[in-house]
Amino acid sequence: MIDLEDVCDTYRMWAPVVIPGPLQIEPYMHAMFAVSPTLTLSDAKAMATIRMERQAKLVGDVAITAVLAEEVLMRHIGGDDVMQEQVQYLRRLTAERLADIRVLPLSGGAHCGTLGEFYLLDFPLDTEEPPTMYCDGWIVSHYTSDDKKLASFESRFAELEAQSVPLEDFLT
């Protein structure tokens, strides 16, 4: 994933459970890693460092659109203070036009993203990378550039984006 992030120019994210890694603040990351029974403290610190480095490369250089399910903002990972800081960071990204962050309200009912998170990456024309869909799983992560599968996820993302509202509108 890191290799693809290094060359993508558009990064779209559907997040139904937690803030996507590239948009997480460090305390949020540590709270996430702390509940993993298989991670040691040193592994968690190393992972957070890698994630922060990835974020520094992406934010501001890549067109990021994230659609978050409302429940993502309701889950106070790391406690109230961490979540408040996380939301302020997302607001700053949006205000500074570093990312387009949207929220899919619970009041919208059923939606086409119930099967889990996914990421869509597009690349500059001068690269040989085809558009790619990525989804993370418990046992295996999946990447595809298959046109038919990609079209399905592109359609899903467009639907989720259409049903969502800008972060600032949701929060006010």
Token representation of residue 57? 């490369």
For residue 154, what pLDDT is reported? Answer: 96
pLDDT over threshold 90, residue 95? yes
Rounded CA gap, 107 and 170, in Å?
A: 12
What's the CATH number where 167 sits? 3.30.870
pTM of the full structure: 0.92
Which run of H or of E encompasses 120? strand 118-122
How many structural domains are present in the chain? 1
Check residues 81 and 116 and name the one with the higher pLDDT: 81
* Pairs from 142-146 (Cβ < 8 Å, separation ≥ 24): 143/4
Q: Which domain holds residue 21?
A: 2-171
* Model confidence pLDDT, tens digit, residues 125-154: 888 899 999 998 777 788 899 999 999 999
